[in-house]
Structure 1
Amino acid sequence: MQATPWNLGPLARAAAACLAMALIPSAGALAQETAPSAAPKAAPIKLQLNRLEPAGESCRTYLLVDNSQGTALKSLKVDLFAFDQEGVAQKRIAVELGPLPDKKTSVKIFDFTGISCPKIGRVLLNDVLACEGGEASRETCLERTETETKTSVPLDR
């Protein structure tokens, strides 16, 4: 006689039932898989190191601030570091990039004083010091910020 679920002993039937239950996804698991994901990701704030040019003993910096997909911000203050070609931090600067109108791109110009452009090997967005407007906070603005460069000097996060 061949073993089937109907003629198995009680222990074998219990094991078969456990195996069957393990293979059937629970309603909770199905609900979890079909539940909508967390809130949609906020529109990015894109910072592009667009140009570096000599300005006496300093390096004039053109930073493109793209808020073309986001809402207006009263303030966006960032902490930037300029590193030399060997990767050693040379200059730190806090730059106010706001106000940023909604759905607008703008250019902000500032100088890294006391360091010439050829000595800059990398610029680091170290932190967001302030971010005000709408639902914005310092932490959410840092998460939303993306960096890129048009120069030979990288702009990193």
Structure 2
Amino acid sequence: MRISRHRTPWLAAAVISASLTGVALAQDAAPDTETDTDTGTAPALKVELNSASPLDGACRLTFMATNGTGVDVDKLVLETVLLTTDGVVDRLTLFDLQALPANRPRVRQFDVSGLDCGSLGQVLINGIQTCDGEGLDPATCTDELDLSTRADIEVLG
């Protein structure tokens, strides 16, 4: 078979293009080493503000907590600051999330009397007052705390 000189550059370009496409596909299929070699540095104690519901004279804050530390937490108490939509501190309070077994989600509700849910703009986790559990380093509760929200209220920490 004879290849004319006019088609050789096109054929060479097609072969190079196919080779590069194969390399790109192989790279896309390769595992993300940052994710796959993660050794637990990602936050593992997740606390999510799931909802804020008005009650008669109160606001019910519902939290979903998931303990991914691998160690049971016997007691977790969060020092919490509730701020208005204007950024003014409404109150400082403690939320006792109680026991959080390892790798099991738990829902905790707190009825905050005298609080209008519509005026709540932010929930600040100011610190950890209590973090107890057998074999649990108390710093874990601070270092691995991952805060999120599903409500229209910002959660900070």
Superposed CA offset, 1:83-135 (max 9, x none): 00110110221111121111100100012221110010110111100101133
RMSD (Å), alpha carbons: 1.8
Q: Secondary structure at the match of 1:98?
A: strand
Is the 2:77–2:97 Cα contact (8 Å) retained in structure 1?
A: yes
Deviation sequence 1:51-107 (CA, Å, 0-9, x none): 000111211000000114532111111111110011011022111112111110010
Mapped partners of 1:46, 1:70: distance in 2: 13
Q: Is 1:136 aligned to residue 141 of structure 2?
A: no
Structure with greater Cα Rg: 1
Q: What pairs with 1:78-117 in structure 2 (closer than 5 Å)? A: 78-117=78-117
**Seq. identity, %:** 24
Q: Secondary structure at the match of 2:125?
A: strand
Runs of 4+ in 1 over 4 A off after TM superposition: none
TM-score in terms of structure 1 length: 0.70
Aligned equivalents of 2:71, 2:98: Cα separation in 1: 12
Q: Is the 8 A contact 2:43 2:145 kept in 1?
A: no
Partner of 1:75: 75
Q: State how far apart, in whole Å, the 1-side matches of 2:56 and 2:74 are.
A: 32
Instruction: Flag structure 2 segments of 5+ consecutive residues without an equivalent.
Output: 1-38
1:53 aligns with 2:53: yes
Cα–Cα, structure 1 residues 124 and 83, in superposed 2: closer, same or farther, change >3 Å? same
